[in-house]
């Protein structure tokens, strides 16, 4: 069991001494270490069992910290986005300064930075006197944690786990890359592309973007997966196989034979769905009467884009042989 509590000063001391702390942010829980201490950062990869080719986000509490992290020639686009969305769930990838250890950026010449808006995260960074490198506090590839119990379930060897007392968005930050005067969306997240486009023109990463695949290491097709099969529910399904869990985003369903039904929202409200998505998946993962999970898709507008991105990634490895919109339950026994 990880030692837990609400002592931010103690947690900050742990970070300053080169130890790991799991802490709440406004998106999901992070697993943090001093970003300028390569040994501490190396332990994040070890504890998470994360491949070292996948770089970390560096969290700051003051705007002037970007001068230690980004290269001296900081684009105006970075300032415009920071002004509009920081503190908040937007991560900005930009050319890095030589001070940032290679292990943080997986050897890339860019670094991902964000200033979280969560009061506990901000206070932790401020008191630690450094910038904090932190991925989500889950084991690599598994579900992101939105509660301290989710962190306890997946990780050990962490010096301290800070309890949360605030609401969380429930999906990770939006990641954009700013290079050569262009904004490219690398990961949909808590801030929608529509909102970003109100500040700067930004396009979704694709193979024609000037960035190559290597510069978008987070675009794995499979990610955030529960440890049992997850399928996207087709509209015309009325019957589920034995021992199924069903995650809905509204109250009513005509399906009557699910072992367990969890509704993330009674009114299909996307803020509520995002906040409850990982909680619902963790609950299904822990329920021993459920051997496979079905999840209703959501409409892909605004926050719905990030929600569907997570649902697709969470179900990707299970849906490989199925056409996404035509999940046929009796073919799912394999
Ligand atoms: O909301 C969040 O962003 C949470 C909280 C804890 O801040 N953190 C989080 O971290 O989701 P993580 O490590 O699970 O996801 C970071 C994403 C990965 O997809 C990674 O590949 C990408 O950011 N990333 C980090 N540095 C990058 C870089 N230099 N270039 C391109 N992508 C980068
Ligand atoms: Mg993650």
Structure confidence by residue, pLDDT tens digits, 211-265: 665 566 666 667 778 999 999 998 778 889 999 999 999 877 788 789 999 999 9
Query: Do both 176 and 264 map to the same domain?
Result: no
Give Rg (Cα) of the chain: 20
Query: Quick one: DSSP state of residue 267?
Result: B
The arithmetic mean of pLDDT across residues 194-206, rounded, is 94
200 plus 153 within the same structural domain: yes
pTM attached to this predicted model: 0.90
Between residues 113 and 106, the one the model is more confident about: 113
314 and 258 inside one domain: yes
Phi, psi (degrees; rounded to nearest 5) at 278: -70, -30
Ligand 1 pocket member 102 (CB < 6 A) = no
Mean pLDDT of all residues in 114-138: 98
Is residue 182's pLDDT more than 60? yes
Question: What would the pLDDT profile of 25-44 be if each residue is shown by its tens digit?
Answer: 999 999 999 999 999 999 99
Å from CA of 238 to ligand 2 middle = 34
Question: Which ligand approaches the C-alpha of residue 25 most closely?
Answer: 1
Classify residue 212: in a domain, yes or no.
no
Contacts of 72 (CB under 8 A, 6+ apart): 97
The edge-to-edge listing of strands for the beta sheet with 230-232 is: 230-232, 292-295, 244-248, 260-263
Q: Averaged over 76-89, what is the pLDDT?
A: 98
Choosing from 91, 114, 225, 309 the residue with most ligand 1 atoms within 8 A of its CB, the one to mutate for a pocket test is 91
Query: So what's the pLDDT on residue 216?
Result: 66
Nearest atom within ligand 1 for CA of residue 171: 1
Do 252 and 107 lie in a common domain?
no
Looking at the structure, tell me whether residues 190 and 313 fall in a common domain: no
Contact 301, 253 (CB under 8 A): no
How high does pLDDT run on average in the chain?
90
In a domain, 220, yes or no: no
Residue 224 lies in a domain: no
- The rounded distance, in Å, linking the Cα atoms of 113 and 241 is 44
Please, are residues 17 and 33 in contact by the beta-carbon 8 Å criterion? no
Q: Pick the residue whose CA is nearest to atom 13 on ligand 1.
A: 135
Q: Is residue 174 exposed (0-12), middle (13-18) or buried (19+ Cβ within 10 Å)? A: buried
CA–CA gap between residue 119 and residue 207 (Å, rounded)? 38
User: Residue with structure tokens 């686009």?
Assistant: 77
Two tokens, residue 33:
């270490």
Instruction: Fill in the DSSP letter of residue 207.
Output: T
Question: How confident is the model at residue 215, as a pLDDT?
Answer: 64
Strands 90-95 and 110-114, how do they pair?
A: antiparallel
Domain that holds residue 157: 4-204
Answer whether residue 312 shows pLDDT above 50. Answer: yes
Together in a domain, 28 and 102: yes
Q: Are residues 170 and 299 in the same domain?
A: no
How many domains in the chain?
Answer: 2
Are 159 and 21 in contact by the 8 Å Cβ rule? The answer is yes
Q: Is 93 in the pocket of ligand 1 (CB under 6 A)?
A: yes
Indicate which atom in ligand 1 lies nearest the CA of residue 138. 14
Mean pLDDT confidence for 265-270: 91
Q: Indicate which residue's Cα is closest to atom 32 of ligand 1.
A: 216
What tokens appear for 8 in the block? 């931010």
Please check the confidence at residue 281 and state whether its pLDDT lies above 90: yes
Q: Is 28 in the pocket of ligand 1 (CB under 6 A)?
A: yes
pLDDT value at 322 more than 50: no
The answer as to whether 223 is a domain residue is no
Question: Is the pLDDT reported for residue 310 higher than 60?
Answer: yes
Residue 270 lies in a domain: yes
CB distance 27 to ligand 1 below 6 Å: yes
- Classify burial at 331, counting beta carbons within 10 Å of its beta carbon; exposed 0-12, middle 13-18, buried 19 or more: exposed
Q: Looking at ligand 1, which atom is closest to the CA of residue 50?
A: 13
The CATH number for 80's domain is 3.90.870.10
């Amino acid at each position: 069991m990880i030692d837990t509590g609400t002592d931010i000063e103690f947690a900050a001391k742990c970070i300053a001494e080169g130890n790991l702390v799991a802490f709440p942010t406004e998106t999901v829980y992070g697993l943090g270490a001093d970003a300028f201490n390569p040994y501490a950062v190396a332990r994040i990869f070890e504890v998470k069992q994360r491949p070292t080719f996948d770089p970390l986000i560096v969290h700051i509490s003051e705007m002037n910290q970007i001068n230690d992290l980004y290269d001296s020639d900081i684009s105006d686009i970075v300032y415009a986005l920071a002004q509009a969305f920081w503190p908040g769930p937007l991560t900005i990838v930009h050319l890095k300064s030589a001070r940032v250890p290679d292990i943080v950026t997986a050897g890339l010449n860019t670094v991902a930075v964000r200033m979280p808006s969560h009061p506990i995260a901000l206070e932790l960074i401020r008191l630690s006197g450094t910038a904090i490198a932190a991925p989500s506090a889950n084991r690599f590839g598994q579900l992101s944690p939105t509660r301290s119990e989710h962190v306890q379930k997946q990780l050990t060897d962490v010096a301290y786990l800070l309890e949360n007392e605030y609401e969380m968005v429930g999906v990770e930050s939006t990641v954009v890359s700013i290079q050569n005067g262009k904004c490219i969306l690398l990961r949909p997240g808590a801030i929608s592309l529509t909102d970003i486009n109100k500040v700067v023109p930004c396009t979704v990463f694709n193979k024609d973007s000037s960035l190559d695949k290597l510069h978008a290491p987070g675009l794995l097709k499979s990610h955030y997966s529960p440890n049992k099969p997850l399928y996207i529910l087709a509209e015309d399904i009325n019957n589920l196989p034995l021992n199924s869990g069903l995650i809905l985003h509204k109250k009513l369903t005509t399906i009557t034979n699910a072992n367990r039904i969890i509704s993330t929202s009674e009114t299909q409200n996307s803020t509520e769905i995002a906040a409850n998505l990982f909680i619902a998946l963790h609950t299904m993962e822990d329920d021993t009467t459920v051997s496979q999970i079905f999840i209703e898709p959501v409409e892909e507008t605004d926050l719905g884009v990030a929600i569907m991105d997570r649902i697709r990634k969470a179900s990707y490895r299970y849906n490989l042989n199925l056409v996404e919109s035509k999940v046929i339950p009796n073919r799912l026994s394999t």
